[in-house]
Amino acid sequence: MVILIISIFCSNFLLKLLLPSLNKNLIDKPNQRSSHTSPCITGGGVAFIIVHLAISIFLSNYNQNLNSTLNITMSCLPLAIVGFIDDYKGVRNYIRFSIQIIVSILIIYSSNIVQIENNFILSSVVYIFLAITSCTVINFTNFMDGLDGLVAGCMTVIFIVCAISINQSNSILALIGALIGFLFLNWHPAKVFMGDVGSTYLGAIYIGFVYLSTTWDQALGLILVSTPLMSDALICLIRRFISKQSIFKAHKLHLYQRLHQAGLSHNLVSIIYILGCIAMGIAFLGWGLKASLCLAFVEIFVGYLLDRRVATAFY
């Protein structure tokens, strides 16, 4: 609890300290995928990253069991650096994707989820699959960062479930607290966005925590906690591909964006997604993987109903 309180305070304090500098150099102007209508400060994710990293390093000096989470945290830093540069002046897609692949490989290696010496061919296939999964989660998390408090709120819930499920709670608590401290300024009306530096880091660190699972059932269960976020991004991607739209072009066709366009407030849409993550977390922690799978289908069906009856048309 002390770690949580300290990280909340430090993250909020550091973010407020950085705001004047961010306001001069990092302004997110409305574009084709924006849900905001006026320029806003971005790059605020750097605050919770610094706090999480600093506390993780401090804790690892007193508890060697936390070295695995620290290794994953360090592995995610190149992605955060590129994300910060992207927020500042933009980065070419091939550079961004190359760093994502490198970071994904580092995360898999740091988590030690794959033992290559047992069966090289099978392990290599698993390695490739996990790398693709990692890049997917990183990008989907980034895609979903489009409404005030949406990703920060959902990820706070997801990391709480991770902290309970895997034996790395202190390090994850530092990230939870840092996110809460950020959320005070990111909830609607947001004073600052986390930017690519924050969203890609959260996606990477999340999949890294998943890979610390002791069983594949546990790993899948932790992935399913993010069903509201990941299913929205995945279904939107599939629909755009089927509609022969460029999947690389900016858009506002995610369900959360179309719900907002239909008149639902930032707060209401974010709360719907956060509650979905809470329900998935309770199902997984309380009743296990089978309950999570059942609830995931229910939530996807609820998303279908919202898409048909509430959201603006997909076009």
Average pLDDT by consecutive 10-residue portion of the chain (315 residues)? 94 97 87 75 96 92 77 95 93 94 94 72 88 97 96 98 87 95 96 96 97 93 98 97 88 95 96 98 97 98 98 91
pLDDT at site 269: 98
pLDDT at site 59: 87
13 Cβ contact list (under 8 Å, min separation 6): 181
196 is in an annotated binding site: yes
pLDDT at site 118: 64
Phi/psi at 40 (5° precision): -140, 150
Q: What is the pTM for the complete model shown?
A: 0.95
79 Cβ contact list (under 8 Å, min separation 6): 99, 100, 103, 138, 200, 201, 204
What DSSP string runs through 210-234? HTT-SSHHHHHHHHHTTHHHHHHHH
pLDDT at site 63: 74
pLDDT at site 60: 83
122 burial type by CB count under 10 A (0-12 exposed, 13-18 middle, 19+ buried): exposed
Q: Residue 164 corresponds to which tokens in the numbers above?
A: 């309970």
pLDDT at site 246: 86
Amino acid 14 reads: L
What's the distance, CA 140 to chain centroid? 8
Whether the CA torsion 76, 210, 192, 13 is positive or negative: it is negative
pLDDT at site 117: 59
Tell me the CA distances in angstroms from 152 to 93, 120, 123, 289, one per residue in order: 24, 38, 34, 25
Cβ atoms < 10 Å from Cβ of 8: 21
User: Does residue 41 sit in helix, strand or coil?
Assistant: strand
